[in-house]
Amino acid sequence: DSVSRSEPTDANGTDDLAYPTPHLQNTRKIALITGITGQDGSYLTEFLLDKGYEVHGLIRRSSNFNTQRINHIYIDPHNAHKARMKLHYADLSDASSLRRWVDTILPDEVYNLAAQSHVAVSFEIPDYTADVVATGALRLLEAVRSHISATGRSHIKYYQAGSSEMFGSTPPPQSESSPFHPRSPYAASKCAAHWYTVNYREAYGIFACNGILFNHESPRRGENFVTRKITRAVGRIKIGLQSKLFLGNLHASRDWGFAGDYVEAMWMMLQQEQPGDYVVATEESHTVEEFLVAAFGYVGLNWKDHVVIDKRYFRPAEVDNLKGDASKAKKVLGWKPKVGFEQLVRMMIDEDVELAKREKVLVDAGYMDAQQQP
């Protein structure tokens, strides 16, 4: 290839993350993932590595390493010949970094998973949320478009992580043809990213897909999303490290699936002959209260003995009821979820009880404060 190799971008040379990308002269497919350190990024990376891909992840600079979810698959680049996952510094707010890595990595598939992904937090930092979620997607699309224009690599495919939050107050069941009515800065920004993606497909013929994914959870879910907040608390309450759990609105309904199942749908979208937009959902909906019943009940506890309603967790505008209609994904992609609601709850509780046991060891040894809440 004609692209020259870059030097490590780290100024003092001690960094082992932002490493040059020695292009393997092989036939492996190359994927570029933004948001690789997040829940979905970690599952998608495992999935693509299993399929034989070389995976490049863009990570952002933070004062602490935030690669916990992918440490188990990370190979030090000093053994670079063995490493099929590589990490590079970039940021969705920095167009030049996106363009540089697209040009250097020469991906076959680009997955845009990066986002300020917390709905409630988007009311606190709306401007930043729009910059990363909406304009960030536009920057990445533009990097792909100009890369194709400069190199002729028109086979490159783009996946945009869209969300059921875009439907907002539109009543269920929500499908690809349901109208968007976003209820938060996050959701409005995802709508913009959705339409940027459609526009780049129509205007430039880019193979660009929107996955409209309903909530998907896992033991790797961020700890301030409601499912994981609940399962973390259940683990800690069961082991005696915590007694109360403070929550907001328990009446909202969500269509909760397993993240490991959903990343497969992302990949499937990019393997089709034609680009398109797909709803990915379990088609089953439960309230937050029903999640509480299942989670506490699984370890023999009554949620009512522990949950305290705290006004601070209510949102200025709520999304009341999400339940997807995934018939297009089932028919066209042949996708269907493998993990059901009860199994998902049990999987998350099992892991969080084990985590709480490990925390207890640290508490008993005096290394950790029992009051420290996740």
Residues of this chain that bind ligand NDP (CB under 6 A): 34-35, 37-41, 60, 62, 66, 91-93, 113-117, 132, 161, 163, 213, 215-216, 222
Exactly one of 163, 178, 218, 285 is catalytic; name it: 163
Say how far apart CA 46 and CA 40 lie, in whole Å.
10
Say how far apart CA 181 and CA 167 lie, in whole Å.
5
Pairing mode, if any, of strands 277-280 and 207-213? parallel
Which residue in 36, 212, 252, 270 binds ligand GDR (CB under 6 A)? 252
DSSP 3-state percent helix, strand, coil across the chain (nearest 5)? 45, 15, 40
374 lies in the site for ligand GDR, by CB under 6 A: no
Ramachandran angles phi, psi of 254, nearest 5°: -135, 150
> Across the strands, what pairs with 127?
none
Q: Which DSSP helix (H) or strand (E) runs through 341?
A: helix 341-364
- Do the beta carbons of residue 8 and residue 37 sit within 8 Å? no
Which residue in 6, 67, 249, 272 binds ligand GDR (CB under 6 A)? 249
248 lies in the site for ligand GDR, by CB under 6 A: yes
Task: Indicate if 62 belongs to the active site.
Answer: no
161 binds, among ligand GDR, ligand NDP, none (CB under 5 to 8 A by kind): ligand NDP
Task: Indicate if 186 belongs to the active site.
Answer: yes
285 lies in the site for ligand GDR, by CB under 6 A: no
Shortest approach of ligand NDP to residue 165 CB, angstroms? 7
Question: Which residue is at the shortest CB distance from ligand NDP?
Answer: 38
Closest CA to 195 of 166, 154, 157: 166
Exactly one of 54, 109, 165, 217 is catalytic; name it: 165
39 binds, among ligand GDR, ligand NDP, none (CB under 5 to 8 A by kind): ligand NDP
270 lies in the site for ligand GDR, by CB under 6 A: no
Long-range contacts of 242-246 (CB under 8 A, 24+ apart): 242/370, 242/373, 243/306, 244/306, 244/307, 244/308, 245/306, 245/307, 245/308, 246/307, 246/308, 246/309, 246/310, 246/313
- Do the beta carbons of residue 45 and residue 36 sit within 8 Å? yes
- For residue 50, give both structure tokens: 């299993």
231 lies in the site for ligand GDR, by CB under 6 A: no
315 lies in the site for ligand GDR, by CB under 6 A: yes
Exactly one of 186, 196, 200, 298 is catalytic; name it: 186
DSSP for 176-208? TTSPP---SHHHHHHHHHHHHHHHHHHHH--EE
Ramachandran angles phi, psi of 75, nearest 5°: -120, 130
229 lies in the site for ligand GDR, by CB under 6 A: yes
Which residue in 313, 330, 332, 347 binds ligand GDR (CB under 6 A)? 313
247 lies in the site for ligand GDR, by CB under 6 A: yes
CB under 6 A: which stretch of 115-123, 203-211, 231-239, 343-351 binds ligand GDR?
Answer: 115-123
- For residue 27, give both structure tokens: 């036939």
CB under 6 A: which stretch of 134-142, 194-202, 243-251, 262-270 binds ligand GDR?
Answer: 243-251
Task: Indicate if 165 belongs to the active site.
Answer: yes
Binding mask 71-100 for ligand GDR (x = CB under 6 A): ------------------------------
Report the interface residues with ligand GDR, using CB under 6 A. 117, 119-120, 163-165, 214-215, 224-227, 229, 247-249, 252, 254, 288, 313, 315, 318
Active site members: 163, 165, 186
